[in-house]
Amino acid sequence: MSHADRTAKKAAAELRARTIWMFEGTVAEMEWVEAPYLSAADARRIAVAELCPSLQSVVINAWAEEVPASEHPTIVRQVKFGVRHGCSELLREVTEQREVATGSLLFAPASYWEPPVAETEPQWPLHQLRAFRWAAAIIAYSVRNALETLHTRYTSDESMPPLNRGIRNTVYVTLLRRPDVGWRLSRLPRVFIEEHSKSGGRIQLPRVVG
């Protein structure tokens, strides 16, 4: 595949991601692609095992020229903390309407946040992909926050957009590769999407910056 073809394919994936991040409520009930059920503990354990090595490599490689090697153990610890924290947020039980409203705070990322992207995606309903994207974004946001001290100490603001994208996309691709884990972790986003669908609500991702 030529460089031009790869660039075009990436641009198409990003456009698709931005388009399907928006949704309008048009149906009262949505059909979801089921996946084998996992307990919360199993989902968290598998997510940590699947995500941490890849994310740690993404961060270490992105910061190779700015962060000394002596801080690599700190990166490893903070990435693991961020993944665990993000999963814990997603695995909370949602049993009452007020909890759904409280959960909506998770779905208000910073204005510079953009949707995760994968070059290939399964042929699922769009609301299913949206739920996986929200789950991936929340985990990625948690990982990014866990790295803030290192960022402040060593790295420039200009270095962060590529790292943010790498973290988001790595999480999203991993959840697509492990749909059983993605299904369990996307439960809260699914509830949120269904509630807004019933009320005719509309959510749009903040503008894309980096």
- Please give the Cα distance from 168 to 141 (Å, whole number): 8
Q: 91-102: b or e for each residue (b if 16 or more CB lie within 10 Å)?
A: beebeeeeebee
pTM of the model: 0.79
How far CA 40 is from CA of 36, 71, 189, 209, in Å, comes to 13, 31, 15, 33
Q: Which of 142, 115, 135, 128 is nearest to 175 (CA)?
A: 135
What residues contact residue 207 under an 8 Å CB cut-off, 6+ apart?
111
Q: Alpha-carbon distance 36 to 56, whole Å?
A: 28
Which residues pair with residue 23 across a beta bridge?
203
- Which three-class secondary structure state does DSSP give residue 203? strand
| Contact assessment for residue 130 and residue 23, using Cβ atoms and an 8 Å cutoff | yes
Distance CA 128, CA 121 (A): 11
CA 45/CA 28 separation, integer angstroms: 34
The residue assigned the tokens 């996946």 is: 35
Q: What does the pLDDT read at residue 43?
A: 92
pLDDT at 144: 92
Task: Count helices and strands (H / E) in the chain.
Answer: 9, 2
Instruction: Give average pLDDT by consecutive 10-residue segment, the chain, 210 residues.
Output: 68 56 45 78 95 97 95 97 94 62 56 79 85 90 94 92 93 94 89 72 44
Domain definitions of the chain by residue range? 3-24+37-203
Look up tokens 């749909």; give the residue.
179
Is 35 in contact with 183 (CB distance < 8 Å)?
yes
Coil, helix or strand at residue 70: helix
> Would you list the DSSP string of 42-74?
HHHHHHHHHHHHHHHHHHHHHTTTTS-GGGHHH
* Partners of 203 in the β-ladder: 23
